[in-house]
Every structure is written in C-alpha cells, then in structure tokens.
Amino acid sequence: MIIAAAQTVPTRNNINQNLEDHYRLINLAADYGAKLILFPEMSISGYERELAESHAFTENDLRLDALKELAKTRNIIIVAGAPLRIDSGLFISAFIFYPDGREKVYTKQYLHDGEEIYFSPGTDDNLQINLEDESFSIAICADITNPAHAVKAASLNSSVYLASIFYTPNGILEGYKDLQGYASELSMSVLMSNFGGPSYEMESAGKSAFWDNSGNLAGSFEGEGEGLLIVRRNEKSWSSEVVKTAGL
C-alpha cells in the first residue's frame, strides 16, 4: 500500500489556484502509486476564520467536481479540507472523495481557542476510511490536542490516524509529541499533513510526517515548501520518501 501526505502552500483568496495545486499534487501522488492522499486543514481555502463564510462550500458542491473526477480516474481516495456550510452551521471539514464516486465529510470535533466565534464543532467522529486491509480515522488540527479523539479512533480499530493540520513553528514540536505518543500508546500509524507556507498571516512549520504503530518516525519533511511525503507499506514495515515540487 502507498499513501501520501500533501504539503501545500495556500494562496489567500484564490480558491481556484489552490484547487489547481490540489489537482497537480493528486496526479503526482497517483503517478507514485498512492491510493490515498491527505491534505492540510482547510487546504482548499487556506486556513481562514473571518473569510471562512465567504469561502464556504456545501456538500456535493459543483466546484469540487474535478476532485471527484480525479478520485475516479486516478483511483485514489482524496482527503481535502474546506469550510463547510450545513444548514445554519459553519464547520471546519475534510471532504473525502472515493474512486467509486462517493463523497463523505468529516467535521472537526474540537475547536482551537477563537474558532468557536466562527465555527461550530462537529458531532460525529465515527467516520472511517477503509482501504485494502487498513482502516483510517481523520483528525483536523485541534482534534489531536484532545487524547479522547485518538482513543476513539483506536476504539474503532483504526490502524492509521490521518492528521490534517495547520501548525506554526511554535506549536509543531508539541504536535509531534502528541502524534508520536498516539502512535506508540494506541498502536496506530499516524500520517500528518501540514501547510508548507504561510496562511492566515501566520507562518507554517511544514514538517509533514509519518509515524509507524510503534511510534517510530518513518519519514518527514525537514521544514517548509511544497511537495509530497510518499509512504509505502512493505509487508510489516513502512518506508517513505519526500518529493519536493516547489519552494515558497
């Protein structure tokens, strides 16, 4: 099995450009044989609070049809983030597009301080992605700061924890500590995708990474920049490589 974390550099107020970057990285991941690709938190819009309402998507949004089509034609599961409007609530979400045409949505359960002004917390964390003999659970950024979230994923027998985040240089070491701890304590591998450049007028740490289910760091970006972390399962072990596509 091959999976990938996309490390992207979002362009503010330019969803079309961000989508073009998604298409390019998805095709590259598929060229490497990846069957799943994970993007950072709100990757399609960039991380935004005040602008999130104007950038909001809906379920089955026509603007995402090209992502759906890529999932089909390249036979890859796509996990990409955006603000999502459901009825009167605005959520931080991850859209999941499957090769068979299905679309699922995960909404962030635990909000960061200040996000509650703009967003509602999600209410259902039972969503799983099944691929070959692996089961994946999704976390979005502050979800990983609450151990109950990872414990719930483990209780569902998820074997891989997908962490879609936006962490700055000040927070990334704590994020690494949390995720490595979940990998070793809960016996789940962890794939983490972070922005490789600024968003919301804040620097991003990059350092997208993968830990195996013993807590060993099996691969990571050294820092910022755009590209892919390609992770391969070889029988009982994992290997990885970084594919850089652009700088800042």
Q: What is the CATH number of the domain that holds 49?
A: 3.60.110.10
Instruction: In whole angstroms, give the CA distance from residue 208 to residue 140.
Output: 14
Region 35-57 average pLDDT: 98
Smallest Cα–Cα separation from 55: which of 40, 44, 39, 66?
A: 44
Q: List the structure tokens of 219.
A: 């691969």
Using pLDDT thresholds of 50, 70 and 90, give the confidence band for residue 247.
low
The pLDDT tens digits of the residues spanning 121-171 come to: 998 878 999 999 999 999 999 999 999 999 999 999 999 999 999 999 999
- Tell me the residue ranges of DSSP E strands in the chain: 2-7, 36-38, 77-86, 89-97, 103-107, 129-131, 134-140, 160-164, 189-193, 209-211, 217-220, 226-234, 237-246
Distance of CA 67 to the CA centre of its chain: 15
pTM for this model (two decimals): 0.98
Give percent above pLDDT 90 in the chain. Answer: 96
Give residue 248's pLDDT: 60
Smallest Cα–Cα separation from 178: which of 207, 203, 141?
A: 141
Region 4-8 average pLDDT: 98
Backbone angles phi, psi at 146, to 5 degrees: -110, 110
Amino acid at 126: N
Q: List the structure tokens of 41.
A: 């938190």
The pLDDT tens digits of the residues spanning 61-78 come to: 999 999 999 999 999 999
Instruction: In whole angstroms, give the CA distance from residue 106 to residue 124.
Output: 8
Q: Residue 205: which domain range? A: 2-246
Region 112-116 average pLDDT: 97
Strands, sheet with 103-107, edge to edge from the N-terminal-most edge strand: 103-107, 89-97, 77-86, 36-38, 2-7, 226-234, 237-246
Among 27-36, 72-81, 161-170, 231-240, the least confident range: 231-240
Tally of domains within the chain: 1
Instruction: In whole angstroms, give the CA distance from residue 233 to residue 35.
Output: 12
